[in-house]
Amino acid sequence: MSERLFVFRWDVDHRVCVTDGLPRIRAVCRDFGVPNTFFVNMGRSTNLREWLGKGITRSKAKLADRDAVHLIQKTGWPRFALETLLSRPVGLSFTPEIQALQAEGHELGLHGGMDHVIWSRRFHTLPTAVLEADVEESYAHYLRHFGRPAGFSSPGFYSDERVMTLLDRLGFSYNGDAIGGEPHRAQAAGRPLRHWTIPVTLAGPRTIPFLEYHGARETPDAEMLRQLDEHLESRDLVVLYGHPCYEGVREAVLRKVFAAVVERGFRFVTLQTLAERLQAAHATR
């Protein structure tokens, strides 16, 4: 890289991401004059059947996780219960609000299929035909409302070669299904594919976003910013991720993060811009 580049990518998982988080993120981005990347869940974010039975045990474990902030904590019980009962889609319900992001110069991408919970909880047992049909349905909705997406991210970073192969077939330029490491060509069956994998470079344990982890652990802002600064100092490419329903509503913290990035001499770009640069560099080799 000839310059220092920074990407903030957002996974727009839930309806509260749009209603509560996006207005604040747009305001911060306007004030700093920077673009971000938003992966949109076109389908539903909750599933009553998946919360019942064995799902209750898993949900209790998540509520007890001190390193992350559970969805119920992010949305509050009343809205969580309402959305679980209604199972309303996210992207399909808020197309004008999401189109407004495009109009302001932000990048949109596709986030999984039509059921966020099933992907997150039963991805590895989904038959390939079911997985492909789910993504293709979501892709068709996205295409109709927002145009052709360059990028894709899987809920919970649950991905495999089936997803990589499908993304290549659909013509995606990149996926964001990795944490750690450098950008590289996606692979399937031991061979490189046409599109790129662009990892998140800084996160908490497992797949918890960096800022959410420190929020859950009640880390003082000064210490969180110190750790971020160490990461910025050590790299010329930094990719951070979060969810509008958590990091997005913490506007004061988000402004501190953006300010730290700018002060370190980084230029904000979208993942699409980064993928185009990677492809151009690859073509000249």
- Which of left, alpha, beta for 160 (phi over 0: left; psi -120 to 50: alpha)? beta
H or E element: which one contains 110? strand 107-111
Residue 202, domain CATH: 3.20.20.370
The type of residue at 95 is T
Q: Could you give the CA distance from residue 5 to residue 117 in angstroms, rounded to a whole number?
A: 33
Query: Tokens 């539903």, residue?
Result: 44
Q: In 10 A of CB 112, how many CB atoms?
A: 28
Q: Per-residue pLDDT for the chain (285 aa), expressed as one digit of tens each?
A: 469 999 999 999 999 999 999 999 999 999 999 999 999 999 998 877 776 655 555 555 555 678 899 888 888 888 888 888 888 999 999 999 999 999 999 999 999 999 999 999 999 999 999 999 999 999 999 999 999 999 999 999 999 999 999 999 999 999 999 999 999 999 999 999 999 999 999 999 999 999 999 999 999 999 999 999 999 999 999 999 999 999 999 999 999 999 999 999 999 999 999 999 999 999 987
Q: Could you give the CA distance from residue 1 to residue 278 in angstroms, rounded to a whole number?
A: 9
Two structure tokens written together for 131? 């997985």
Torsion angle in degrees (nearest 10) through CA of 13, 14, 17, 19: 150
Does residue 246 contact residue 74 with C-beta atoms inside 8 Å? Answer: yes
The type of residue at 91 is G
- DSSP annotation of 115: B
Interhelix angle 221-234/251-263, rounded to 10 degrees, is 30
Q: What is the pLDDT of residue 48?
A: 73
Q: Could you give the CA distance from residue 169 to residue 194 in angstroms, rounded to a whole number?
A: 9
Q: What is the pLDDT of residue 87?
A: 84
Interhelix angle 22-32/95-103, rounded to 10 degrees, is 10
3-state secondary structure string, 158-216? CCCHHHHHHHHHHCCCEECCCECCCCEEEEECCEEEEEEECCECCECCCCCEHHHHHHH
Q: What is the pLDDT of residue 73?
A: 85
Q: What letters, b where the CB count within 10 A reaches 16 and e where it falls short, cover 71-105?
A: beebbeeebbeebbeeeebbbbebeeebeebeeee
H or E element: which one contains 57? helix 54-63
Considering its fold, how many domains does the chain have in total? 1
CA angle 177, 86, 41 (to 5 degrees): 20
CA-nearest of 148, 206, 197, 201 to 177 is: 197
What residues make up the domain containing 26?
5-283
CB under 8 Å to 103, separation ≥6 — which residues? none
Q: What is the pLDDT of residue 81?
A: 82
Considering the entire predicted model, what is its pTM? Answer: 0.94
Q: Name the phi and psi angles at 176, rounded to 5.
A: -115, 35
